[in-house]
Amino acid sequence: MAEAETEKATTGSLLSNGGVALDTTAPNGSEEQLDTSRKVDPLSPRKRDRSYNEATECTENAVKRQKGVAPIKAEYLLRSTGNWTEDEKGGVEYDDAAEAADDRYQKIDGRGRDSRQGGKGKKDKKQQRGQKGQNTSRTFGSSHDKLQLCGTRQLSPEFSPKECPFGSKCKFEHNLRKYLNEGRRGDLTTLDGKCPIYEAKGYCNLGWKCRFHSSHSTERETDDGRRELILLEDTERKPAEGTQDPDYEVGVFNIVSKEAKINLSRRRTGTPRADAYLEWVNANADAERVHFDRKPRSGAIGQPEEELTIKKEEEERAIKKEEEPDIKKEEDEDNRAQFVEPPFRPSEKRRIYYGPETPILAPLTTQGNLPFRRLCVELGAQVTWSEMAMGLPLIQGDKGEWALMKAHESEIRPPKFEHKNAVVRGYDNAKDLKFGAQIAANKPWLATKTVEVLTSLCPQLRAIDLNCGCPINLVCEKGCGSALLDSNARLESILRGMNYVSNEVPITVKIRMGTKDGQPTAEKLIKRLVLGGYEAVESGKGTAGVAAITLHGRSKQQRYTRGADWGYIAECAALIDRLKREKSSRTDTIAEADPRDLANDGHVYFVGNGDCYSHVDYYNHLENAKVDSVMVARGALIKPWIFEEIEKGQYLDKSASERLSYVEKFAKYGLQTWGSDELGIGTTRRFLLEWLSFSHRYVPVALLEHLPPNIQDRPPRFRGRNELETLMASDNYKDWMKISEMFLGPATEGFKFEPKHKSNSYEIEAEG
C-alpha cells in the first residue's frame, strides 16, 4: 500500500536549451543524471514521406529504438514468461477505444448512467471483423444489498419512519436493525471510515444504505428508555428544510430535473427555435430552386431520361451565363431578395478562446466521466468535454444520457487566459467556462432540437460540439459520427441549424482526416466549414458558423491504430491560416461570407488531436503544426498529470504513492457522484477498473532509456522501484482489483469486470 512507498517523487528542472534534467537513483544506489533535452527541427507539412512523430523524437546521438516497445532500462526488465503476445508489443487495434467504445452502448448498472443499447442480437461478418480483438457485449454483474430497505425507512429515525403506502404488502424490508445486521455488508473502514458524501454536504442522502453510515449516525436513549438509531446532519452546511431542490447535488451543475425528463419522454417539451428554423429552411427551399435553376423532380431518382434532361439544362444554363453575365447578376440579386432573414446569427454567440495555455481533455467515452474530469481539472486541464451523447435519447428524456451533461463546479470556472493580444474581439474570460457538451446527430431536425433542449436545460455550457469522428459501427450505421464526413452538405446544414438555435452558446465540430486510409478529405471539408459551401453562400444562408474545428489525425478506417498524422494536421492548419489571409484581400463581396455569420468575430480556432503523451509532444505540435491548442485523450488516461507537465514545461516523475493518491481521489469523487451505497460503490469500482486498464501502461520516466515517451509503445514486463510501483504497472486484472479494494473494500459476489481487449480477456469475478 501507500505506506510501502519509499522513493520520493522526482521532478524535472528546465535546462537552458529547453530540455529537462531528471535526478534519478539507479537500483545500485549510484546517482545519474538523465538529459531529456531534445532539439526538434521544424517539419514541412508537405514532406509526408517523413513521419511527424519520428521527427519530434530525433536526437543527435540517439540509440535506435525498437518500434512499438517502450525503451525501459535493462536493469528494470523482467525475464519474459513466454506469454507476451504481439498485441502486447505493439499498439493493439482498439487501444484508443476510450474515445468511442462499442461497449459504451450497453447496460452496465441499474442506475442507467452508462447505458444505451443492449448487447443482444446477431452481428454480421463485417461487424465481427471490425470488432476482432475486443471484448464486445461485456457484462459487469450487479452490486446490491441482500435485503432491500424500504425507501420510507432510508432517511428516517428508527422509531419515527415515514408511512409506507404499501403497508404490510411492501416487498422491501421495514425492520431497520434487521436490515443493518442481516441485509447488508458491514461498514467500510477505508477512506478513514468517513463518508465522502457527508464530508462534502454535511448530510448523506443515502442514509442507512450508506456503507459508511456509522460515521453519520448514532444511538440515542428515548424518554421511555429505549435505544433509537438516528442519522446525523450538519445543520450549518445542510440547506434548510423545504428550500432544497430534490435534484440538487453539491458542487454539480447542469442537473436536469426528473419532471423535465418526463416531459421530454412524453413530448410535452416544445422546441420553438428549432421549429422556426426548420420552417425557415422550408420557406427558402423554393427560392433556392429558382436561384439555382432547379426544378422539383418527379418519379424515381436517377432515371436515364431525367438525367439527360438535367444535363442538357445545365449545358444551356452555362451557355446563357456566358452570353448574359449582367442579366444573370441582376437575377441573382433579385432571387437573394426573396430569402427570409434567419432568426439568429452565429456572430451573436459568446466568444471562446484557445491558446497554448489551454490544453484540452478530449471527450472520452466511458472514461470521461465527471470524477475523472474533476481529477484532470485539478491537475491542470483547462477545457473539458462530456462523453458523447446521442441526440435522440436526449430529446426522449433518457436519464442515462442526461447524466452525461452534469459538470463539477471546477469545470464551470473560466479557463486560464494569458495571451491577451491573441484573443478575438469581444472575448470575456469572466464569462467563459471549461465544460462543453458533445453530441452526435445525423439530421438537421434532430441536431437542432437536441441543441435547443440542451441550451434550455443546461445553462452552464462553454460550447456544444458535433461529433464527426466516432468510427464505431453502432454510431456510423445510423449516419452519425464519421459517417457525416462523406456528406459535407448535410454536415454543413446540421452545423448551421445548431448555430441558429443555440442562443449564445458557440458551436464547434470534431472531425477526422477522412473515411478511408490514404484518401484524406478534411482539407476540402474545412474549407467548406470556414467559407461556406457555394450554394449556401449564394442563397444567403452563410457559413456554418463554427467557432472551432478539432481534427483527429486518423481516418475512420484507421480507427485508433498506428500513429496520428500530425503532418496532415499541419497542412490543414496552414489552410485555415491561408483562408484568413485571403479573406482580408478578397474583393468579391458577393462570394465573401456575411460577417454576421462568422462566429468568434471570424476567427475559427483549429485544434489538433492524436497521440499527445508529454509536454514535449504538446509544444512540438503547437510549434510545428501551428495549431491553436492540442486535445489530449489516451495520454490523460495513462497519466492525468500530463496537464501539470504541460503547465510546468517539464517531465514529472510521479512516485507510486502520488499516483495511488490520485486513485484515492477518484474513488472519493466517484462515491460523491454515484453514491456510497452498495450500488454506487459497484459503479465507482467499475469505472475505476476501466481507468486502471489504461493507467497501468504508464512507465515512470526515470525507467526509460529514451525520451520523450511514445504513446504507441507498449512496455515489456518490468519491475518498479518498489512493490507499489510494480503493482500499479501490472496488467493482471487481479492486481487492479487489489488496488480498488484499498479504497472501496472487497467487491460483492455478483460483481464482474471484463477488460476491453482480449489480450487481457480473462473474466473478473470478485469473491466476497
3-state SS track over 225-246: CCEEEEECCCCCCCCCCCCCCC
C-alpha cell at 698: 504508464
For 236, what's the count of Cα atoms within 13 Å in the CB-facing half-sphere?
1
**Cβ-based burial of 235 (10 A; exposed 0-12, middle 13-18, buried ≥19):** exposed
Short-list 717, 725, 736, CA closest to 653: 725
Helices (H), 143-293: 151-154, 176-178, 196-201, 258-265, 272-291
- AA identity, residue 701: V
User: How many CB atoms are closer than 10 A to CB 450?
Assistant: 27
Taking each helix axis from N to C end, the angle separating 656-674 and 733-744, rounded to the nearest 10 degrees, works out to: 70
For 484, what's the count of Cα atoms within 13 Å in the CB-facing half-sphere?
26
For 10, the enclosing helix (H) or strand (E) is strand 10-11
**Can you tell me the distance from the alpha carbon of 744 to that of 664, in angstroms, rounded to the nearest whole number?**
9
Of the listed 470, 476, 572, 612, which one is catalytic?
470
Contact 384, 633 (CB under 8 A): no
Short-list 632, 626, 637, CA closest to 697: 637
**Cβ-based burial of 551 (10 A; exposed 0-12, middle 13-18, buried ≥19):** buried
Rounded to 5°, angle at Cα 403 from 116 and 378 = 125
**Cβ-based burial of 296 (10 A; exposed 0-12, middle 13-18, buried ≥19):** exposed
Is 470 part of the annotated catalytic residue set? yes
Contact 747, 682 (CB under 8 A): yes
**Residue matched to cell numbers 432510508:** 154
C-alpha cell at 110: 441499474
Q: Which residues does the annotation mark as catalytic?
A: 470
